[in-house]
Amino acid sequence: MSSALRVGLVGYGVGGAIFHAPLIAAHPSLELSAVVTANPERQQQVRAEHPDTAVVDDVDSLLAGELDLVVVASPNRTHVELATAALDAGLPVVVDKPFTPTAVEGRRLIEHAAAKGLMLTVFQNRRWDSDVRTVAKLIGDGELGRVHRFESRFERWSPTPKPTWRDSGGAEDVAGILYDLGSHLIDQALQLFGPVASVYAEIDRRREGVRADDDSYLALTHVNGVRSHLWMSKVAAQPGPRFRVLGDRAAFTKHGLDPQEAALREGRLPVDDSWGREPEASWGVLGAGDDVRRVPSERGDYLAFYDGVVESLREGTPPPVDPADAVAALDIISAAHRSAAEITVERLI
């Protein structure tokens, strides 16, 4: 297969417009063939940003065309229905995070894809953030020694809720910051330190008028003994460090976010080696006590996700993200909701 794989994108909100469409358009082995959006303003946006891409009103029209892959970047509550429709049409699927509303639905969707013999994967793009790749390298190289505590944050200052389903939606919309940013934080912790034995959570709604959490905290105890403390908030007037990782040899502290999202929002594309690189002023600090040094950040690379998708479709290799990993994260989210409601520590293993 030498020609580009034809991709149909469902949804042109933040996920579709800022992340998926630019990455697909920039990938030499992919072609953004069609986008589904019924919103007239977003239809105009697609035509302006991707003039060679067809715009259709509904998923049935999309699936009636000639495609090789469907990417589901629609509102969270629609993921299962739309991914199932694509699989039933004989097409492999990328689903944006959170994969599905519940772990039960996630397992069923995995089984459905397996029965169809089709690739199914989840867009956990922040596995390819520069900062988490740096943490993984430091752990792998033994620079920290044995890690005992992992602190990770996605904190923002957005005190006024936006009139969107993400801010004003409720449980029926699979809304809230735990599903949104928490899906990334949990996935990163699982990738670094493995399965989780217990979960404690604090899940709060701080802003007037919101129906889903906007300020939450999780404490995870991994089977190997590492404790992961995860913060996610839209009401953090001063954010804490993105990472603080404590080991018996050294610690690593990193402030600031990976630069790729900001670059995509500015209209930049991952087309050269400068992509995903942080300036020295943004590097994290490694060491103990006063004996510390800055550590060059690894290069961030969101396009690597779609490299993995192409390889999976063409070579039959495993997809870049095993959807079972997303189900494990959904089990943790479910346990977190129980913990917060009952003020308990929920055991998973």
Domain with residue 253: its CATH number is: 3.30.360.10
Regarding whether 341 and 204 lie in a shared domain, the answer is yes
- Structural domain contains residue 326: no
Regarding whether 104 and 145 lie in a shared domain, the answer is no
Q: 258: closest CA among 157, 135, 129?
A: 129
Regarding whether 184 and 90 lie in a shared domain, the answer is no
Regarding whether 61 and 10 lie in a shared domain, the answer is yes
- Structural domain contains residue 284: yes
pTM of the model: 0.96
List the CATH number of the domain containing 52: 3.40.50.720
Tokens of 336: 């977190």
Contact 266, 188 (CB under 8 A): no
Report the distance separating Cα 153 and Cα 284, nearest Å: 14
Query: Helix 323-342 and helix 103-116: axis angle, to 10°?
Result: 170
Regarding whether 175 and 35 lie in a shared domain, the answer is no
- Structural domain contains residue 228: yes
Structural domains of the chain, count: 2
- Structural domain contains residue 76: yes
Report the distance separating Cα 100 and Cα 81, nearest Å: 10
Regarding whether 159 and 52 lie in a shared domain, the answer is no
- Structural domain contains residue 276: yes
Regarding whether 145 and 59 lie in a shared domain, the answer is no
Regarding whether 180 and 108 lie in a shared domain, the answer is no
Regarding whether 113 and 153 lie in a shared domain, the answer is no
pLDDT in tens, 7-25: 999 999 999 999 999 999 9
Report the distance separating Cα 231 and Cα 293, nearest Å: 26
Chain center to CA of 63: 25
Of 123, 141, 172, which residue sits at a domain end? 123
- Structural domain contains residue 318: no
What pLDDT score was predicted for residue 324?
Answer: 98
- Structural domain contains residue 320: no
**Low-confidence stretches of the chain (pLDDT beneath 50):** 1
Q: Is the dihedral of CA 112, 329, 203, 95 positive or negative?
A: negative
Report the distance separating Cα 77 and Cα 176, nearest Å: 12
Report the distance separating Cα 147 and Cα 155, nearest Å: 23
Regarding whether 220 and 142 lie in a shared domain, the answer is yes
What pLDDT score was predicted for residue 2?
Answer: 54
Q: What is the 3-state secondary structure (H, E, C) of the chain?
A: CCCCEEEEEECCCHHHHHHHHHHHHHCCCEEEEEEECCCHHHHHHHHHHCCCCEEECCHHHHHCCCCCEEEECCCHHHHHHHHHHHHHCCCCEEEECCCCCCHHHHHHHHHHHHHHCCCEEEECHHHHCHHHHHHHHHHHCCCCCCEEEEEEEEECECCCCCCCHHHHCCHHHCCCHHHHHHHHHHHHHHHHHCCEEEEEEEEECCCCCCCCCCEEEEEEEECCCCEEEEEEECECCCCCCCEEEEECCCEEEECCCCCHHHHHHCCCCCCCCCCCCCCHHHCEEEEECCEEEEECCCCCCCHHHHHHHHHHHHHCCCCCCCHHHHHHHHHHHHHHHHHHHHCCCEECC
- Structural domain contains residue 310: no
How many Cβ atoms sit within 10 Å of the Cβ of residue 187? 23
Of 71, 98, 123, which residue sits at a domain end? 123
What pLDDT score was predicted for residue 1?
Answer: 45
Range of the domain at 105: 5-123
Regarding whether 341 and 199 lie in a shared domain, the answer is yes
Of 98, 123, 148, which residue sits at a domain end? 123
Regarding whether 282 and 178 lie in a shared domain, the answer is yes
Contact 191, 155 (CB under 8 A): no
